[in-house]
Structures are given as structure tokens and as C-alpha cells.
Chains A and B, each alone.
Chain A
Amino acid sequence: MNRRLVEVENLKKYYPVTAGLLSRHVADVRAVDGVSFNIMEKETLGLVGESGCGKSSLGRAILRLEEPTAGRVLYKGNDITTWGRRQLKELRKEAQMIFQDPQSSLDPKMTIGDSIGEVLLIHGIGTEQERLEKVTELLQRVGLEPEHTMRYPHELSGGQKQRVGIARALVVNPKLVVADEPVSALDVSVQAQILNLIMDLQHEFGLAYLFITHDLAVIGHVSDRIAVMYLGQIIELANRKQLFSHPLHPYTEALLSAVSVPDPHQKRKRTSLPGEVPSPVEPPPGCRFHTRCPKVMEICRQESPVLRPRTGGRLVSCHLYG
């Protein structure tokens, strides 16, 4: 059994809503509202949910790219939410991020070589020559040519740019990589290549991924375990097989029924959800999903369910299961 790399405990990220001349604090956008889970070493934890459910905020808060409002994040047993500037810089060597939009995640005024080499420069790793060698080596590993070090981002295709983004994340040999929708800005034909690259690199570098996406097909392809998020909370967490074959939470069920299957004749039961996702400023009382849940009960309107373990080590937060 692998050790726990990251333990997230009751993490909250609120964005204040202000109004008026004096910027009075009137409300909070509860992007992440009390989330707990672990990421094991060398595993891929998929995080799936609709847009706006707080999955990106969660990813950023775990790396402290945004300050969590409350809760703890333990990295190898140490609480990083209390870390200062210097310790955080050390964390940056251990935990990296791959961004969604390869177009805007590279500085347009920097060559590819400089963009990747900058990480080594920041952390003072190696001599100039060694840095260059490392950058070239990594570029080749992600499927680019050494000549690309001299190129500017606008001279590369979207897929190539994302390869650069991956190389940049891996150049310091991190243990954890948060991949925030790494393929959703790419053409479908390129998506598969990048996904395979990401998975190959995981074995090669011994990485743990937090893989954030809204695309269930993608997440089913890469993840070991999957966490489903709705309105700032995790409502179900199970390993891939369990989740896809036998979803417990009605929301997960609805999500899965929306995945397109490459067989037009297959008969499927579609569960479509009525209404819109409620506002994260004023989440509904009780279970947050009760406004759209097809199996809503009276208790759902009053009491919010807790994420509790079920058979097979899976977690679900729903009143249907007691």
C-alpha cells in the first residue's frame, strides 16, 4: 500500500463578495466548502464536476496558489497552510501544476527554453550548461525537438505548447502534479496523445496526479480513483471501476448517463437533471443537490448528508444510503 502524499482536511475557499464604496463584505462565494480527501503516492486522483463547482479553486488551494480560507493541507504529513515564503518555494519543487490553456500559460515574450529553464533558475539548480541539457532532455522526452528551445510560443501548435507546459512542470522532478483540465483546450485528436504522454510520464517519474476535468471519458481513462464534486463539496469518491459500474450518488448517476458511448444502437437510460446549478453564494439548505435530485426525500431539504464510507472503501454523501 502506498503512503499518503497529500491529506486535505475540511478545506474551504471562499471568495468575498463586496459592495459599495467602502467594499463592504456582503457575502461569500463558497467555491470550496469543506472538502476532505487523500492523494496517495503515485496514484491518479480524478476530480470531476461541472464548471463552476470549485474544482479549479480546490486544485489551486492545495498548492497554495490561492490562500485557503480554512482547513488544512498536509503534504507528507506537514501542514503547508502555515508555511511561509521560503518553505513554499521548497514546496514548488515537490508539487507542480499543468494548466488548462497552453496558449496563455506560456509567457509570449519568452522562448520555450527560457520558460522551462526559468524553473531551474529560480531554484538555483545546476550550472547554465546543466540546465540547458536538462531542458533539452526533457523536451525530447515530451516529444519535442531540441531546436524548440529557441522557439517562441506563438510558433508552436496547441498540442506542442501543452507538451512544453508538461515539461515545465516536470523539470524539477516533482512528486505531485495538479493537472487542471490539461486537455480540454486541445483538439480531440491531440487529446489522446497528451493523455498518453501524461500517463507514461507518471510511471517514469513516479508522479501522483490530481487530475481535474469536467470530461468523464477523459477521467475514466486516466484515474485510479475518482472524486465527484458538486457545488464546492465532494459528494462521491470511489475507485474507477466502482464508480463507472455502480454509481451510488444520484448526481454521479446523472453525470455518467450523459457520457457519450461510441455505439448509436445501445439503449441507455438517460437521467437528465432539471434546473440550473444553484448559486455558490447561497447554497441550498440541507443536501446541496436536493433542488435537482430525482430521488429527493424530505430529509434532504433539512439535513445535509455527510461523506461516509460504504462497502469497498468508497465514500458517498447521500441520505439514500442511511
Chain B
Amino acid sequence: MMRQTSRKVGGKRNLIFIGTLLVLGLIVLLDIYLVDRILEPMGYFYLFFVAVAVLYGVYPLHANRRLTRYYWERTKRHRLSVLGLAFIILLVAVALIGPLLTQDPTRVNFDEKNVPPVGFTIQQSVYDLDTDKFLVREIPGTYQHPLGTDDKGRDLLAMLVSGARVSLQVGLLATLIAILIGTIMGVVSAYFGGWVDQVLMRFTDIMMTFPFFILLVFIIFIFGPSLVFIILVIGLTGWTGAARLVRSEALSLRTREFVMASRSLGASDARIVFRHLIPNVLSSVIVIATLSIPGVILAEAALSFIGLGDPTVTSWGMILNAGQRSLDTAWWVAVEPGILLFLTVLAFNFLGDGIRDAFDPRSQL
């Protein structure tokens, strides 16, 4: 009985999603042409992300509790992936509530520059005006700046928390865009075949060889550096790998008899694509998504590191960049974001591996 209800909601769900998209698009248009700044650009991304996550993530997981529990049991057997998941949840929590608790990451205070993390003490030569000599002064780490400060006296903890938010934003949103495009391209290409397949896949080839870096530099040159554009460019250029993987998956599904069966029942092409093919490639899509998040996070960090990032937000790449200039006086400025970046990338990779094994019926778990 319960499932029958959920099937009905399944139809409504797509309507709700399209409705949300329309409303969002309308507000964006209003924003651009009539009223100024109804929402910050990131706000639209958030709304979009939440809509997709609830309608296509949380809801189906809840509706198919039995299946969800089965996959969770299998993922759990992969110790490292549980660890990775725990780290990611922690990171999300920090990114969401952390900025409320920490200091302003952009506040400069030259009296407290280069303070080391708690437990470390460094020696610093300071020019003394009275004696006209250089004095060697010991600077101990304080609890006011548990992770130290950089050469402008900014609190590193606050900067790292802010960086976590940026990294997750970029990682999740850009991946979401890429995965959505990739999945639809792949499934449509595989299902319709023929010239549709040819056109879509040649387009994918072109996108694959397209130098996304130059595009990004170009866009930043025209519109100025902004996180929104970085997310859009990474998302809109990064779907090619997903499209190819999904296509190959969908090609093998298409030859299965249940697709022929649906057609013999009178199902339309749209129904077969959205009701049968996409749910069946979803497990691979989730794996591809999880495994591509770290790449995106690294791409953003790399951009910030070379100074192409959004200067108004504090990201890990930016801190790394600041840190490498003062590596001899304040090693922690570069090391701390480096470690976090490393752990985050590792956590997503572990989680991705775990999910892949859980979804793969051939793996012996």
C-alpha cells in the first residue's frame, strides 16, 4: 500500500522539481532585469541543491527503507568509508555552523601576526624602537587563536572554517551540475542511439578536449572572479566523464528485456528514460559523483592558489597561497589547509570506494 502511494508521489515529484526550477528561473530573471539582488547568487545554488537533494536523495531513500538499509549494511563493512563519511559529516557541520562561532576570518590585526598554533612557540626578531636593536622575542601559541594566525594576524581557525564552507560549496554544487548534465546526456545518448548518440557523443568529445582553464580565465577576465562563475564553469565543463560512464552503463541496460517489456506495455520514451533507465544507473551515478567531488575541490583550491579564485571568500587554496610565501617564518599557515585538503579528498575517495563496493553485486563483501 505504501509503495503504491510512493509511485503516485513519484509522478508528482518530477512536477514539483520542474515547478521549483521554473520559480527559481523566474526569480533569477527578475533579479537580473528588474529588482536588484533578491538573493545572493549562491542562494539560488543552495535552493537548487536542496530541492534536488530532498526530492531525489532523501525522499527515495526514505521511501525504499528496506533497500537503503541493505546498502548501508554493505557500505558499513568498508571501515574506511564509514570513517570518511564521519569526517564529511563533521566537515559539513563545521561549514554550516562554524562561521557563527569563530571570529571574522577577514579581520586583520598586525599586533598578532604569525602567532603559532597552541603548543608551539616560535622565536621572532622584533625591532625595538627604544634601544634601536633587534630583540629576539618568544611568541607562544594562545587559546585565542588555537590554530595560530597568518602574516596579517588573521585567525587561521576562522579562515579554515570559512574555507571548508567554500570547498564543500564548490565540490557539491559543481559536481551536482556536472552529474545532472552527464546523466541525462549519457542516458539519452544510449537510449536513442543512432544520430542522437553521434551528435551528443561528438559534442562530449569536443567538451572533453575543450581547455576549461582558458574558459575560466576568460570568464574571470570578463565578469570578474566570483565563486558562482567558478562553480558554473567547473560544473558545465566537468560532466563529460560522467556522460561517458553513464552512457556505457545505459547501453547495457537498454538491451535488457525489461526495456523491451516496458515498450510492449505501451510506455513512452520519456517514461523508459526517467522511470527505468535513470533509476538503474543511479547507483553508478552516486559513485561517480562521490569520486569526482575531490577533484573539483582540488580544482578550486588550485585556482585560488594561483590567484584566480574569488578574492572575497577565504578558501583553502587562498590560505595555501598565503602560507607558501611565509613558509620559513610561519609553516602552519600552509600546513593546516594542506592537511585539511588532504583529509577531505581522502574522505570522499574512501566513501566513494565504499559506496561502489556496496552497489556492485559482484563484490564479495
B265 to chain A minimum Cβ distance, whole angstroms, is 5
Question: Considering the chains assembled together, what is the distance between the CA atoms of A248 and B266 in angstroms?
Answer: 40
Interface members, chain A 15-63 (any B CB < 8 Å) = 60, 63
What residues of chain A lie closer than 8 Å to B266, measured between beta carbons?
Answer: 88-89, 92-93, 119, 122-123
Across the interface, do A96 and B265 meet the contact criterion of CB distance under 8 Å? yes
Decide if A128 is an interface residue (CB 8 Å cutoff). yes
B7 close to A (CB within 8 Å): yes
Question: When chains A and B are docked, how far (Å) is the Cα of A97 from the Cα of B259?
Answer: 13
Q: How far is the CB of B128 from chain A (nearest CB, A)?
A: 74
Contact indicator A150/B3 (Cβ below 8 Å): yes
Q: How far is the CA of A110 from the CA of B272 in the complex (A)?
A: 13
B214 lies within 8 A of chain A by Cβ: no
**Given the interface contacts A101-B257, A105-B257, does A118 sit within 8 Å of B265 by beta carbon?**
yes
Q: Is A149 an interface residue (CB 8 A)?
A: yes
A100 touches B (CB below 8 Å): yes
Residues of A within 8 A of B67 (CB): 152
Which residues of A98-117 are within 8 A (CB) of B? 99-101, 104-111, 113-114, 117
Determine how close the nearest CB of chain B comes to the CB of A147; give it in whole angstroms.
11
Residues of chain A lying within 8 A (CB to CB) of residue B265: 92, 96, 118-119, 122, 168, 172
Q: Take A92-B266, A118-B267 as given contacts and tell me if A104 and B7 are in contact as well, using a CB distance cutoff of 8 Å.
A: no
**Assembly CA distance A166 to B226 (angstroms):** 58
Within the complex, what minimum Cβ distance (angstroms) separates A133 from chain B?
10
Cβ proximity bits B265-287 to A, threshold 8 Å, 1 near / 0 not: 11110010001100110100000
Complex: A297 Cα to B209 Cα, angstroms: 64
A132 at the interface (CB under 8 A from B): yes
Any chain B CB within 8 A of the CB of A273?
no
A106 to B258, CA, bound (A): 5
Contacts of A163 in B (CB 8 A): none
Query: A109's closest neighbor in chain B, by CB?
Result: B279
A131/B4 in contact, CB under 8 A: yes
B3 touches A122 (CB 8 A): no
Would A122 and B258 count as touching, CB distance under 8 A?
no
Complex contact A132–B257 (CB within 8 A): no
* B7: A residues at CB distance < 8 A: 114, 117, 121
Task: Out of B2, B8, B257, B261, name the residue touching A128 (CB < 8 Å).
Answer: B8
B276 A92 Cβ-Cβ under 8 A: no
Do B4 and A128 have beta carbons less than 8 Å apart?
yes
0/1 per residue, B313-356, Cβ < 8 Å to A? 00000000000000000000000000000000000000000000
Q: Write the chain B residue with the least CB distance to A105.
A: B257
B residues less than 8 Å from A117 (CB atoms): 4, 7
* B60 nearest CB neighbor, chain A only: A109
Q: B3 to A105, Cβ gap below 8 A?
A: no
> Is B1 among interface residues, defined by CB-CB distance under 8 A?
yes
Knowing A99-B257, A114-B3, A149-B3, the reply to whether A107 touches B280 (Cβ < 8 A) is yes
In contact, A100 and B257 (Cβ under 8 angstroms):
yes
Q: Name the distance in Å between A65's Cβ and chain B's nearest Cβ.
A: 6
Contacts of B68 in A (CB 8 A): none
B4 with A97: CB separation less than 8 A: no
Q: Which chain A residue shows the least CB distance to B269?
A: A85
Q: How many residues of A contact B (CB 8 A)?
A: 37
Residues of the A chain whose Cβ atoms lie less than 8 Å from the Cβ of B260: 60, 65, 99, 105
Is the interface on chain B under 10, 10 to 19, 20 to 34, or 35 or more residues? 20 to 34
Residues of B within 8 A of A118 (CB): 262, 265, 267, 275
A104 near B3 with CB under 8 A, answer no
Q: How far is the CA of A104 from the CA of B276 in the complex (A)?
A: 12
Q: Which of B3, B258, B279 contacts A113 (CB 8 A)?
A: B3
Which of B1-31 touch A at CB < 8 Å?
Answer: 1-5, 7-8
- CA A92 to CA B263, docked complex, whole Å: 9
**B258 with A107: CB separation less than 8 A:** yes
Q: Which residues of A contact B362 (CB under 8 A)?
A: none
Tell me the bound Cα distance from A270 to B361 in angstroms: 46
Asked if residues B3 and A111 are in contact (CB atoms below 8 Å), the reply is yes
User: Which of chain A's residues have a CB closer than 8 A to the CB of B5?
Assistant: 128
Residue on B with the closest CB to A108?
B280
Q: Are A113 and B4 in contact (CB under 8 A)?
A: yes
* Chain B residues within 8 Å of A132, by CB: 1, 4
Contact of B256 with A by CB under 8 A: yes
CA A176 to CA B5, docked complex, whole Å: 31
Distance between Cα atoms of A289 and B263 in the complex (Å): 35
Q: Give CA–CA (A113, B266) in the complex, Å.
A: 17
A88-B267 Cα distance, complex, nearest whole Å: 11
A100 to chain B, nearest CB (A): 7
> Which of chain A's residues have a CB closer than 8 A to the CB of B279?
107, 109-110
A109 with B3: CB separation less than 8 A: no
The chain B residue with its CB closest to the CB of A135 is B4
CB distance from A127 to the nearest CB of B (A): 10
Query: Which B residue sits closest to A165, measured CB to CB?
Result: B261
Known interface pairs A101-B257, A105-B257. Does A65 touch B264 (Cβ–Cβ under 8 Å)?
yes
Measured between C-beta atoms, what is the minimum distance from B4 to chain A in Å? 5
User: Within 8 Å CB of A150, what residues of B?
Assistant: 2-3
Shortest B363–chain A CB gap in Å is 15
Residue among A100, A107, A114, A149 with max Cβ neighbours from chain B (10 Å) = A107
Q: In the bound complex, how far is the Cα of B4 from the Cα of A322, in angstroms?
A: 62
Residues of B within 8 A of A105 (CB): 256-258, 260-261
* A99 contact from B1, B4, B261, Cβ within 8 A: B261
Smallest distance from the beta carbon of A180 to chain B beta carbons, Å?
A: 9
Q: How far is the CA of A33 from the CA of B134 in the complex (A)?
A: 101
User: Which of B3, B262, B264, B282 interacts with A96 by CB under 8 Å?
Assistant: B264
Mask, A74-95, CB within 8 Å of B = 1, is 0000000000000011001100
What are the residues of chain A within 8 A of B2 when measuring CB–CB? 150
**Which of B2, B258, B264, B268 neighbours the largest number of chain A CB atoms within 10 Å of its CB?**
B264
A-B contact pairs, 13 of them (CB 8 A): A63-B264, A93-B266, A97-B264, A99-B257, A104-B257, A105-B261, A108-B258, A118-B275, A119-B266, A121-B7, A123-B266, A131-B4, A165-B261
**The 3 nearest A-B residue pairs measured at CB:** A92-B266, A105-B257, A104-B256
- Other A-B contacts than A150-B2, A168-B265, 12 sampled, CB-CB below 8 A, are A88-B266, A96-B264, A97-B264, A99-B260, A106-B258, A107-B262, A108-B258, A108-B280, A109-B280, A117-B7, A122-B265, A168-B261
